[in-house]
A and B are shown apart, each in its own frame.
Chain A
Amino acid sequence: MTGRALSGGRAASAPLLGHETEPTIFEMSVSGRSAYQLRTTGVPATALADLIPATHLNGDVVNIAEVSERDLVAHFTRLSHRQFSVDLGMYPLGSCTMKYNPKFCDAVANDPGLNSVHPGAPAELTQGWLELLATLEEKLCAVTGMAAATLQPAAGAAGELTGLLLMRAYHSANGDPRRRILIPDSAHGTNPASVTLGGYEVTTVPSNDRGLVDLEKLKASLGPDVAGIMLTNPNTLGLFEEEITEIAAAVHEVGGLLYYDGANLNAILGAVRPGDMGFDIVHMNLHKTFATPHGGGGPGAGPVAVSKRLVEFLPGPKATRLDDGTFAWVKPSRSIGRVHGWHGNAMVLARALAYIDVHGGDGLTRVAKYAVLNANWLRQRLSDTLPAAYDRVCMHECVLTATPLKNKYGVRGLDVAKALLEEGFHSPTVYFPLIVEEALMFEPTETESLQTLEALAEAVERIAQRAIDDPDALHRAPQTTPVSRVDEARAARHLIPTEDAASR
């Protein structure tokens, strides 16, 4: 297949004009220079001292950089050239679902009819937004098989904590909040962190030799003090929990609830719904499954959908469709209260609805199918170089291991990940899940083509050959990137979080 790996996803042709670092905006600052322009208002320019008592005035202590508009543009444009992105090339970062973000969805959300609306304006004047939110809630429930949802949580972790507070409210209403939450050893770190903030204790459930929850050990951990279990399905190994109905039955048997971590929802769209698997609470990462851009680490959105028995506890107020066809803010009867300052990351929610509408039920089903096809093709294609940790059909991502390269040539997973950057690809997720040695977790997503997958595979093979020829060079990779490996220990030992700390 060599020769057809001229792909859209390989970014090795990205131009660079040098190897100097970019000065900070503060270093570029020249006192007295400015870029801002404001409206001519005609408002009386009363001296501030005549409006506000002197005890409140700060004596002009706050300084910002002073640059021209031209320098501002040059600075941030150059910074952007020092940044990898989905638009530039393939981002096979496992668990993060870095698929292509349709420009249309951004454009729709950026319409002034949506983005110039004040969140505190009366519902009568924002009916379009309320309808949009109510419609999105209905569609997310259709995708997940749940009864109702809150759109307030601003990201996946916020959704997790919201879900745990819902569990607490539900159990408390039944007389006992309970004490423990079960979490598989392969779970994302946000799960246990959220459990603690939800006022619960973590009980870790081990995986079996097939990379799945060990059902017998799970049953042994269950008891009347278990509030619920948090599961990702497919799990973080990219494997579907085949005993999910047995797990659900066992947890429900002791009165516990099942929480679905939607980090990997992309794999099962249209194939199976969390509600049908027995889950009571589901969070969705709209910035993964529904392709809203990640923004370099947010904004995300983490709506939480629930089964019927939890609906009355949902955060609120919620945009609600009334019988007369209008919309109003309604707080569920036993609501846990707000989990966001306003109505959630509304612009992200609007993008997700546009994405759902473009795809429809048929398109979303294809999304999952091709995501799973791509991951399995890559797993199989790389099997001689980076074997799969669990060698069988995976879902939307595959966890491979660099253990053979490490044992034979001393080349670690991190070295492979860094060398891929020189090849024009973003690295896969490294050393996660924690239960796999030298883990490299690849999630190609459905929007990458066969040609891009082939180009990635060939890049991995070249790196494997370099491991034989010159392993030391791999320890030093990458060298063609804006900076080479950074001294993380030094950053932590001597914290410099600001320009002012740097100059002290």
Chain B
Amino acid sequence: MRYFGGCDAGSTYTKCVIIDENSKIVAHVTNRSRINPVLSAEAALKEAVAQVEELHSAADLTYLVGTGYGRNKVPFADENISEISCHAMGVHMANPDVHAIIDIGGQDVKGIAIDTDGTVLNFAMNDKCAAGTGRFFESMANAFEMSLEEFSRLSLKAKNVIPITAQCTVFAESEVVSLVGEGKPMEEIAAGIQLSVAKRCFVMAKKAGATDRITLTGGCAKNEGLKQAIEKVLKIKVVDLPVDPQLMGALGAAEYSKRKVHV
């Protein structure tokens, strides 16, 4: 059996997926990224390879594609492909009926429209600013002295939403601290943060031309409060994926690996 790898060296998490010749996921890993993407990718690949009996090292993979911001630093990679293309392909493999993606990564937000073959039809992406990204959520959860999961659950309890006006991560944190100081309900502030990010996602989705059958990918896709806020602003039901949405980039990279060999 031949195996194909995809390694998504993201800014906050490094993900690795190995698939077999039938595109079945046989191994997957999600690790917190270190400052050096080479070390992060190396560790993730090692763990993933250890899950497949027939493999001894990443060099045994028939083909390996690197993706994510550290895509050109993945050891043993035969090629690197942008995370935009990989997320599109990953989602297409997980659910071919999905037409568009909102990907909320550690340092960027992307809207991606997918063609019927899993390739990218159009995309939009934020630039340098970290507003509305995973880093933004981490910073907000830290301000609340909570984990991301606790923060998400808290926001779901809100009966009202307190709007957050600042989009900048630094200023938003100051605003949140001020609101907490004023004694505003924490869950309503949390819901306001979710709404502000959802609006950012709305912009990216619209810019990319996404209209229906939209799914979420990236680590923030697991944030139920955000998902509900996005459904509210986009007035659609977000499509759930049968595979961990955080793995979509790595899965797409692995699928591209397979196709590179089979083409």
Tell me if chain B binds chain A: no
